[in-house]
A and B are shown apart, each in its own frame.
Chain A
């Protein structure tokens, strides 16, 4: 057991070898004299064992009676270590300084991490909580963790729940993002479901009302999809709040031309580093021009935990205000990038079934046309105005 080993080391112990007599009698006599022995090994008539310093000093009686000769082979423990290194003040000073450093530095936050977020970025949450005082290098005793968590939830609608927990010098921010409540409609208001875009209907799921179109029908914007007028057998009609889901295949087309991009050449580029130590930033070079700059933070890692020591590198650049013509290759890359961004936007609300990018020559140079067929919800509610006689 570790505690026992630690106690033995702190008080010191002696490893010895005994030989020449009766080993069994020797062990029994030691036990009778309350001399604690451990790791007793008998190898070819020689006993090797360990005992306390006090025990070794009183082992002579047992050795004499059993005819054993005892020789100590090793002395281990803190007391022997201190005695051997009495003249080496540096060791003691180093030990004291490191203990002091750990004691002082553990009063500050070493690392802050975020868990539980799904759509919000870690950097955004960290910068938010930094305004409340939760940051690397902050004094732990100054932080009211429960109060900060409550304040974060009250002041930010994005959080439905938040907690700031401390595990030693590591702070963990746990958040739960607010789930947007669905749009509630007044079900007493009579409505129709109409098409918001042109497309070919793929599926109709009527929740309330009468379906006016079938799967496979082509519809244009404004066409009635689900009627909110229910006809009865006696000829009367009742306006109701129609509701349902209508999915259709919608065609999309967008043109990207070189004219739509602006290119400004970089005139200068600089890089500077700063040493980060527990919230203190020590610059190691000239300040970078601020017209455009990004910062890259590299922290020292210990397993999964980032320590509050690292190097920050700031990259800065200056750009000319005069626009220049981009080369053909640059234009192609820019156009492809813009098309990719557009496709990403489409994916937010639709499912892209097919897509293609076609190169076309225009008046201002080469351009691209992006085509896509997307499956999306096209039903939208339209109120029915009822005249009351």
Chain B
């Protein structure tokens, strides 16, 4: 029973991953960044944040950076954003 459940969950996860886009960024000027599809935080500093967004890593540079919210793979970064880099 436990094995069947695990197999079902794996199938569900891979299906949702296939349908859902890797990551989606939405910016409000240079003050706020909403990132959908964030798997986790790799690096977190006041001037630099690196996030795991699946196949690529997203680096955000700026000043006074703050993770306003991080829940359900959605991260909201606020502060003065000066640079966004993508590393595969």
**Nearest chain A CB to B84's CB is how many angstroms away?**
19
Q: Looking at the complex, which of B9-17, B53-61, B64-72 is the stretch in contact with chain A?
A: B64-72
Q: Does A345 contact B (CB under 8 A)?
A: no
Per the bound structure, the CA–CA distance linking A43 and B46 in Å amounts to: 7
Enumerate 30 A-B pairs (CB-CB under 8 Å) in ascending A order: A23-B44, A24-B42, A24-B43, A24-B44, A27-B40, A27-B41, A27-B44, A27-B70, A28-B41, A30-B70, A31-B70, A31-B71, A31-B73, A34-B71, A36-B71, A37-B69, A37-B70, A38-B67, A38-B68, A38-B70, A38-B71, A39-B66, A39-B69, A40-B44, A40-B66, A40-B70, A41-B66, A42-B44, A42-B46, A43-B46
A40 near B40 with CB under 8 A, answer no
- Chain B residues lying within 8 Å of A36, measured Cβ to Cβ, are 69, 71
Which of A23, A41, A43 has most B Cβ within 10 Å?
Answer: A41
Within 1-60 of B, Cβ neighbours of A (below 8 Å) are at 40-46
Chain B residues proximal to chain A, CB less than 8 Å: 40-46, 66-71, 73
Q: Contact string, A18-56, partner B, CB cutoff 8 A, digits 1/0? A: 000001100110110010111111110000010000000
Per the bound structure, the CA–CA distance linking A43 and B45 in Å amounts to: 8
Per the bound structure, the CA–CA distance linking A31 and B43 in Å amounts to: 15
Per the bound structure, the CA–CA distance linking A52 and B14 in Å amounts to: 31
- Chain A residues lying within 8 Å of B40, measured Cβ to Cβ, are 24, 27-28, 31
B69 near A38 with CB under 8 A, answer yes
Which of A34, A36, A42 has most B Cβ within 10 Å?
Answer: A42
B67 near A27 with CB under 8 A, answer yes
Per the bound structure, the CA–CA distance linking A321 and B12 in Å amounts to: 103
**Nearest chain B CB to A59's CB is how many angstroms away?**
13
**Nearest chain A CB to B77's CB is how many angstroms away?**
10
- Chain A residues lying within 8 Å of B70, measured Cβ to Cβ, are 27, 30-31, 37-38, 40
A40 near B67 with CB under 8 A, answer yes
Closest to A28 in B: B40
- Listed from nearest, the 8 A-B pairs whose CB atoms lie closest are A40-B67, A28-B40, A38-B69, A36-B71, A27-B41, A24-B41, A42-B44, A41-B66
Per the bound structure, the CA–CA distance linking A27 and B52 in Å amounts to: 12
**Nearest chain A CB to B73's CB is how many angstroms away?**
8
- Chain B residues lying within 8 Å of A41, measured Cβ to Cβ, are 46, 66-67
Per the bound structure, the CA–CA distance linking A23 and B49 in Å amounts to: 12
Per the bound structure, the CA–CA distance linking A28 and B67 in Å amounts to: 12
Closest to A38 in B: B69
Which of B41, B43, B66 has most A Cβ within 10 Å?
Answer: B41
- Chain B residues lying within 8 Å of A24, measured Cβ to Cβ, are 40-44
- Chain B residues lying within 8 Å of A31, measured Cβ to Cβ, are 40, 70-71, 73
Per the bound structure, the CA–CA distance linking A28 and B40 in Å amounts to: 5
- Chain B residues lying within 8 Å of A40, measured Cβ to Cβ, are 44, 66-68, 70
- Chain A residues lying within 8 Å of B46, measured Cβ to Cβ, are 41-43
**Nearest chain B CB to A111's CB is how many angstroms away?**
40
In the complex, besides A24-B44, A36-B71, A38-B68, 4 extra interface pairs with C-beta distance below 8 angstroms are A23-B44, A38-B70, A42-B45, A43-B46
Per the bound structure, the CA–CA distance linking A39 and B43 in Å amounts to: 16
Closest to A24 in B: B41
- Chain A residues lying within 8 Å of B42, measured Cβ to Cβ, are 24
Per the bound structure, the CA–CA distance linking A30 and B73 in Å amounts to: 12
- Chain B residues lying within 8 Å of A43, measured Cβ to Cβ, are 46
- Chain B residues lying within 8 Å of A27, measured Cβ to Cβ, are 40-41, 44, 67, 70
Per the bound structure, the CA–CA distance linking A40 and B45 in Å amounts to: 11
- Chain A residues lying within 8 Å of B69, measured Cβ to Cβ, are 36-39
A37 near B45 with CB under 8 A, answer no
